[in-house]
Amino acid sequence: MRVHQTLTILAGVCVVALYAGDVGLSARIRAAEGHYGRLLAANVIIPQRRAFATSHPGPAGTVTIDRVDARVSIVEQVATTTLNIALSNPTDSRLEAELVLPVPDGAAVRGFDFQGAGAEPSAQLLPKSEARRLYDEIVARTRDPALLEFVDFNLIRSSVFPVEPRGTQKVRLTYEHVCEADGERIDYVLPRSESLDYAVPWQIRLTIKSQRQLATVYSPSHAVDARFSHKGRVADAALRPGAEREPGPFRLSWLVSGGEELTATLLAYPDPKVGGGYFLLLAGTPREPYPDRPPIAREVTFVLDRSGSLAGEKLNQVRGAVRQVLGGLEPGESFNVIAYNEAVEMFSPRAVEVTADNLAAAGRYLESMQARGGTNIHDALIESLRQPPENDRLPIVLFLTDGRPTIGRTDEKSIRAAAESANRYGKRVFTFGVGVDVNSPLLEHVASESRGTATFVLPGEDIELKVARMFERLSGPVLASPQLTVLDEHGRPAAGRTRDLIPWRLPDLFDRDQLVLLGQYLGDGPLVFRLSGHCPDGKRSFQFRFDLDKATTRNSFVPRLWAQRKIAVLVDAIRASGAERPGARPEVADPRVKELVDEIVRLSTEFGVLTEYTAFLAREGTDLTRTEQLAREAWHSFDARARQVRSGLGAINQDVNLRSQKSAGQLNYRNSYWDANMDRAQVTSVQQVADRAFYRKGGRWVDSRLVNQTDAGAAQRAVEYGSEEHMELARQLARDNRQGALMMHGEILLDVDGQAVLVRNQ
């Protein structure tokens, strides 16, 4: 590849401009040539967006983007980003191209290269005012509002190079910038489009190196996998499989560890409507917690269904899963095994220590276990919860079943109540539903009420693998039974500073775990949190003080993540009501029902966060001004699905969706969910942009703040695409990171500082 050391850095927009020799340029664009010394080409490509034509492409056509691979190396705060961009020329003509990319503030180019011969690029640094005028010319020429998403971004621009007919071109650009830091947190952002029609696959991999240990790595925008090495001072992170085509800027934050202490940070979004704003509290455990002291010892009780339906290969997998977990227990920990069908049998009256003899005896007990009979879930669950655990041990129950209760107490409500009253020792129950003939709401409720989780093993999936993967997370308890207290600046409990904290019951924190807590804050004074719980060296408290002076609308992911979780909490309440009187169907007029449904519809509409129950809000024919009708339709959906369906694949999909939404840590731009057949579904007629949501209604995009008003069609002023007023509006929105609201094609009805503005995009 040929290396070129110089590039043009612009502030305003990022493009790859492609020139096809048979396409003429307008007089307006030629005028720009005199000012900047370079012609604007006939085509524009933004790797973070898509291809554009500055005029009709003619017979030559345009270059297409096949993929983008991003490799990021971060040392302390300095990030080196290398973008490998694969282009194709589907035409029979040789096309010339020019690369311009949006980059963070303060970026500096380290290198640029591409395949094939080409003239050396000329370097040019444009002042922001000149770059802005050039950008105006590009926007006017393309007549494509999508470019507006990158208003006021800094840019890197390269020189011209060829893409041969029916050929490919590989481009590599490397730039450096200093990541923003806020206390112990460092943030990395890779600009990309939030548009749902963005289809270019991205591979993103990062390596973070720090002289201090890294407590945790977190992305609010995309699902990532991270692993740590070099005693926690190096982290490798990558997009999780399936996230390659997810839109939106890629964001990654990491916390440096405070030795043996928990580390925490706060990301805040101001919103006067709530009297303060929204916050995300991120806490991470140290990489090597309490090196001189063993972690909290665990006491694990296996509760195994041995009814007739579990015979054969499923029972063999259950045996294998238990052996794997037993092999992962440490000396000083303890265990027991309970097997049940219509009766309940125990390996030992009390939990036994992890010794070679006890493990061998447990192995023999497992081999002797046979599958036959019915399913007495109630008695097995109560027996596992009533046994007192050993002192100073974290009691964990792994409860497995492949069927619904058929013996003893069988109604869901009484089993739930009995489990809650029997769990005097605060045991964590992790449930496993094998197959689809299980009462999934029951398993989900029993788990979530005890700080555990529910796992569903679908037909064809490996029981042993699923149990082992879940138990891997439960290694090295660092903070058990955590409690959060909000304090004033004098260390006293402060009432009324926060509300709607999700989750309200904090989960246990294990080795290399992280806590993501969302909520609303009131006022603008500092927030002080005390996080207390049981650590390996006894009960401890950690105190954190956060000023809110860095609250910004650029943290627009915070209120949307909060809304995802809040909606899930409300849906869970409706789903739980189905256990009270099976088959009973209260009317939506019931005040308890109406309160839940109205709030779900309100939040779903405002934030553009839809579920399988509220996807109808995005239908073209749905009138969002008729609130009572919306509530009735939503209730019919909740009643028919959430309340009435308690088993089968159509129940499991709901609990899988619910668990994902209740613990949401990443944005869900496409409003995707698992449908009743466990197929992936998504909603595309709602567009989430920064902190706004837009609905496609009546041939136009309507701001969610206006969509439920009866006079939503009456704009207070209109703005024409390409006008000076249009460009000024884009820059006004950019000051709050909302310029993406103008990127959609067609008419956009937008709320701007309380005024309804109709933007006529071409």
Cα 36 to Cα 246: distance, rounded to the nearest angstrom: 36
* pLDDT tens figures, 641-651: 999 999 999 99
Q: What is the percent of the chain where pLDDT is above 90?
A: 65
Cα 87 to Cα 67: distance, rounded to the nearest angstrom: 8
- The band of 446, judged by pLDDT with boundaries at 50, 70 and 90, is very high
Cα 64 to Cα 71: distance, rounded to the nearest angstrom: 21
| Residue 1 pLDDT greater than 60, yes or no | no
* pLDDT tens figures, 197-216: 888 999 999 999 999 999 99
In this structure, the strands spanning 477-487 and 527-535 are antiparallel
- Give residue 12's pLDDT: 39
User: Is the alpha carbon torsion for 470, 471, 473, 477 positive or negative?
Assistant: positive
Would the pTM of this model clear 0.75, i.e. be above it? Answer: yes
Cα 461 to Cα 317: distance, rounded to the nearest angstrom: 10
710: left (phi over 0), alpha (psi -120 to 50) or beta: alpha
| Residue 411 pLDDT greater than 50, yes or no | yes
Domain segments of the chain: what residues?
A: 2-237, 257-292+478-555, 297-475, 557-684
Cα 179 to Cα 79: distance, rounded to the nearest angstrom: 7
Cα 741 to Cα 747: distance, rounded to the nearest angstrom: 11
- Give residue 63's pLDDT: 83
Q: Which residue has the tokens 């050929």?
A: 167
Q: Which residue has the tokens 């094998």?
A: 434
* pLDDT tens figures, 215-242: 999 999 999 999 999 988 999 999 999 9
Nearest residue to 16 via CA among 137, 99, 83:
99
Main-chain dihedrals φ then ψ at residue 724, nearest 5 degrees: -65, -35
Domains 2-237 and 257-292+478-555 fall in the same CATH topology = yes
- The band of 538, judged by pLDDT with boundaries at 50, 70 and 90, is confident
| Residue 288 pLDDT greater than 50, yes or no | yes
| Residue 117 pLDDT greater than 60, yes or no | no
- Give residue 29's pLDDT: 36
Nearest residue to 261 via CA among 296, 231, 286:
286
| Residue 45 pLDDT greater than 80, yes or no | no
What DSSP element (H or E) covers 561? Answer: helix 557-577
Task: Kindly state the average pLDDT of the residues 122-138.
Answer: 59
Buried b (16+ CB within 10 A) or exposed e, 85-102: bbbebebebebbbbbbbb
Top-tier CATH class for 257-292+478-555: mainly beta
- Give residue 398's pLDDT: 97
Nearest residue to 676 via CA among 697, 693, 657:
657
Which of 82-86, 387-391, 399-403, 612-616 is the least confident region? 387-391
Task: Kindly state the average pLDDT of the residues 446-453.
Answer: 95
Cis peptide before 165 (omega within 30 of 0): no
Query: Helices 313-328 & 463-472, crossing angle to 10 degrees?
Result: 20
* pLDDT tens figures, 317-376: 999 999 999 999 999 999 999 999 999 999 999 999 999 999 999 999 999 999 999 999
* pLDDT tens figures, 314-333: 999 999 999 999 999 999 99
CATH topology of domain 297-475: Rossmann fold (3.40.50)
| Residue 18 pLDDT greater than 60, yes or no | no
- Give residue 33's pLDDT: 42
Mean pLDDT over the full length of the chain: 87
Task: Kindly state the average pLDDT of the residues 510-533.
Answer: 94
230: left (phi over 0), alpha (psi -120 to 50) or beta: left
Cα 185 to Cα 256: distance, rounded to the nearest angstrom: 7
CATH architecture, domain defined by 2-237:
Sandwich (2.60)
- On the 0-12 / 13-18 / 19+ scale of CB atoms within 10 A, 500 is middle
